[in-house]
Structure 1
Amino acid sequence: MKLALVGDIGGTNARLALWHDQQLESVRVLATADYPGPEAAIRAYLDELGLPPGAVDSVCLACAGPVGGDLFRFTNNHWRISRTAFCRELQVRELLLVNDFTAMALGMTRLRDDETRVVCEGEAEAGRPCVVIGPGTGLGVGSLLALADGRWLALPGEGGHVDLPIGSPREAELWQQLYRQLGHVRAEDVLSGGGLLTLYQAICALDGHEPHLASPAEVTAAALAGDTVALAVIEQFCCWLGRAAGNNVLSLGARGGVYIVGGVVPRFAELFLASGFARCLRDKGCMSEYFDGIPVWLVTAEYPGLMGAGVALQQAFEHGQV
């Protein structure tokens, strides 16, 4: 493989790196708000490394949103990309676009032992799919399956936009409050960085608290400092994440395990590990025992989506797809 570039582009940040000898090199994180589009961000990145146009032969970008056709509009930022115009402007031979959670799922195949924490003990069943789910700017959901030829198949989807599950009378009351605020209530409306603040506001409105926190970061900081309302927000967040993850396990038959990813949960990892997540994951009535022995991990790796973009590009090269 000639010199290649990989990117993991979310709503807030664009993570870029060179892909060389199946490893990431020269990782940089750029704010999407600072650039009019991906071409400008990549030009700035290459300029910093002293690489001229045409130095990179192939590019794989993991993008938040459904990927298909020549024109792609990013879900959670102002960027858009035309494959044809991108290749012409940057003098790139091949551009591979993959869904961001396809890349995130593929990134799970390269995790080191020190890049995960065990949430639920268990043994992954060979030949069964895994669920990869993670709150970040939005809620990403993907799945991963090992193929017989040694490749990995990651199935993209838009599972963050499913309806928020309700599993208790308290959650039904919260859902009604959220519905009054939002109308249709998606899982992503709560299970995301911004969703922490939305959930905080809903709990304050329902329980008669005067809201004094104004950002997701403030909610997290207050919870870590012992604020009782903020702690209730984190607990409910974790419980709803468990219900959403459990729904995906049942839908996919995902006895290969569950990976909790994204930038939100690691910020309150100890609270998450002590929360009702595991209880709500398996709170499925007559199907609760299905979850016995299914392992769950919290992923703490710094750039799993970026690594997954490299894996996607590597597999495409090895099987003649680019």
Structure 2
Amino acid sequence: MKRALVGDIGGTNARFALWENNAMHSVQVFATADYTSPEQAIGAYLAAQGLARGELEAVCLAVAGPVSGDEFRFTNNHWRLSRQAFCRALQVKQLLLINDFTAMALGMTRLQADECREVCAGVADAGRPAVVIGPGTGLGVGTLLALGDGRWMALPGEGGHVDLPVSTPREAQIHQQIALETGHVSAETVLSGGGLLRLYQAVCALDGQQATLQSPAAITDAALAGDPVALAVIEQFCRFLGRVAGNNVLTLGGRGGVYIVGGVIPRFAELFLRSGFAESFADKGCMSGYFKNVPVWLVTAEFSGLLGAGVALEGVNA
């Protein structure tokens, strides 16, 4: 394939790169709030790279949300995209839109040994699905299947919007407290950047504490500095993530392993690795033994979604 553009567009940031000779280069990150549309942001990227519109053979964008039809509305930002209008504006013949966690799952096929850390020891069953899950602006969930002969399939889905699982009296109290604010409590309601703040506020309300911290970053910083309330919130966040990840393994037969991705967990990686994630992950009653040899990795690679978009583009044009 000649020169193409790949993009990974989330709620907060849009990442773009050029894709040539089955490899990615020239990565730049743009704040979605600074641009009115993906066309405008890509136009700025092309200008920064010294490229004119019409010089790209194809574009693949990984986007947060279900993909169908001509028009796509981004789940966690204000952008909209019409396939036909996009291709006209940027003079592109081929536009491939894929779910962001389809791209993230495909990105795991390019993962290097130094780009992940072991969370739970095990041996991946190459013939079974792998689960890719990650808290960021929202909560993404994807599935990766090995087809043999170096071929892969990623299954899109909206697993971040399943109900938040509750397994202890304390978690039931937290669920009820959050439901007073949000109504329905999905996994993403808690397991996301904004969800971390919501969880902190719920814990403070239940324990009669004043909620003095005003952002996810402030909660993370306080936990890393040893604040007991913030530490308890991070611990509960990790346990909820373990429950959701474990549910996905059971549902999918995901003995190919679990990849923890996204921008939230790496900010407190050491706390995560010491947390009750692994205990909650396998806390499934009579099915707890199912998790004995299922590996879990924390992915530290910065641009897996972009790489996955390139892998998807190569597959379409193979």
Instruction: Assess same fold via TM > 0.5.
Output: yes
Counterpart for residue 67 of structure 1:
67
Asked if the contact 2:122–2:295 (Cα under 8 Å) also holds between the matched residues in 1, the reply is yes
Counterpart for residue 217 of structure 1:
217
- Give how far 1:23 is off: 1.3
Asked if the contact 2:2–2:21 (Cα under 8 Å) also holds between the matched residues in 1, the reply is no
Q: How does 1:273-312 map to 2 (within 5 A)?
A: 273-312=273-312
Taking the aligned partners of 1:303 and 1:120, their CA distance within structure 2 comes to: 23
SS of residue in 2 equivalent to 1:275: coil
Counterpart for residue 45 of structure 1:
45
SS of residue in 2 equivalent to 1:147: strand
- Give how far 1:148 is off: 2.9
Tell me which amino acid in the other structure corresponds to 1:309: A
Tell me which amino acid in the other structure corresponds to 2:210: E
Tell me which amino acid in the other structure corresponds to 1:181: E
Q: How does 1:136-155 map to 2 (within 5 A)?
A: 136-155=136-155
SS of residue in 1 equivalent to 2:96: strand
**What do residues 1-59 of structure 1 show as CA deviations (whole Å, max 9, x unaligned)?**
11100000000000000001111110000000111100000011001111111100100
Counterpart for residue 173 of structure 1:
173
Count matched residues. 318
Counterpart for residue 101 of structure 1:
101
Taking the aligned partners of 1:297 and 1:149, their CA distance within structure 2 comes to: 24
Taking the aligned partners of 1:140 and 1:120, their CA distance within structure 2 comes to: 20
SS of residue in 2 equivalent to 1:209: coil
Counterpart for residue 4 of structure 2:
4
Instruction: Determine if the alignment matches structure 1 residue 256 to structure 2 residue 290.
Output: no
Taking the aligned partners of 2:126 and 2:101, their CA distance within structure 1 comes to: 22
Tell me which amino acid in the other structure corresponds to 1:220: T
Instruction: Determine if the alignment matches structure 1 residue 33 to structure 2 residue 25.
Output: no
- Give how far 1:181 is off: 1.6
Taking the aligned partners of 1:57 and 1:34, their CA distance within structure 2 comes to: 26
- Give how far 1:77 is off: 0.3
Taking the aligned partners of 1:179 and 1:26, their CA distance within structure 2 comes to: 44
CA RMSD of aligned residues (A): 0.6
Counterpart for residue 79 of structure 1:
79
Identity percentage of aligned residues: 72
SS of residue in 2 equivalent to 1:81: strand
Taking the aligned partners of 2:315 and 2:235, their CA distance within structure 1 comes to: 39
**What do residues 126-165 of structure 1 show as CA deviations (whole Å, max 9, x unaligned)?**
2100000000000000000011343211000001111000
Tell me which amino acid in the other structure corresponds to 1:298: L
Structure 1: 4+ residue segments shifted above 2 A:
none
Taking the aligned partners of 2:74 and 2:273, their CA distance within structure 1 comes to: 32
- Give how far 1:316 is off: 0.8
- Return 5+ residue gaps in structure 1 as ranges: none
Taking the aligned partners of 1:176 and 1:74, their CA distance within structure 2 comes to: 29
TM-score by length of 1: 0.98
Tell me which amino acid in the other structure corresponds to 1:124: A
SS of residue in 1 equivalent to 2:294: coil
Taking the aligned partners of 2:174 and 2:69, their CA distance within structure 1 comes to: 39
